[in-house]
Amino acid sequence: MRRLTLILLLIVAAPARAEDLVSGISQDVIQITSNYTGTSIVVFGAIERPLGSDGRDIVVVVRGPGTDMTVRRRDHIAGVWVNADAAKLVGMPAYYYMASTKPLDEIAPAADLTRYGIGVEHLTPQQIASHHDPKPFQEAALRHLEREGLYTEAPGSIDFLSESLFRTRVPVPAGVARGQYNVEVYLFRGGQVVSAQSTPLFIDQTGLERRLFNFAHNSPLIYGLAAVAMSILLGWISSVLFRRPA
**Dihedral (CA of 214, 218, 219, 220) sign:** positive
Label residue 233 left, alpha or beta by phi (over 0 means left) and psi (-120 to 50 means alpha): alpha
**Local structure of residue 135 (DSSP, 8 states):** H
What pLDDT score was predicted for residue 162? 85
Amino acid 41: pLDDT: 94
**In sequence order, what are the residues at sequence separation of 6 or more whose Cβ sits closer than 8 angstroms to the Cβ of residue 52?**
none
Predicted confidence at residue 2, as pLDDT, reads: 47
pLDDT in the model for residue 141:
86
Name the CATH topology of 2-61+95-123+132-206: Immunoglobulin-like (2.60.40)
pLDDT of 13-65, one tens digit each? 444 345 688 999 999 999 887 777 889 999 999 987 654 456 789 999 999 89
| pLDDT < 70 positions in the chain | 1-19, 49-54, 74-84, 131, 206-215, 244-246
What is the distance between the alpha carbons of residues 89 and 109, in angstroms, rounded to a whole number?
25
Inter-residue contact 164 to 47 (CB < 8 Å): yes
What pLDDT is attached to residue 38? 86
Domain boundaries, the chain: 2-61+95-123+132-206, 207-246
Task: Look at residue 106 in the predicted model and tell me its pLDDT.
Answer: 92
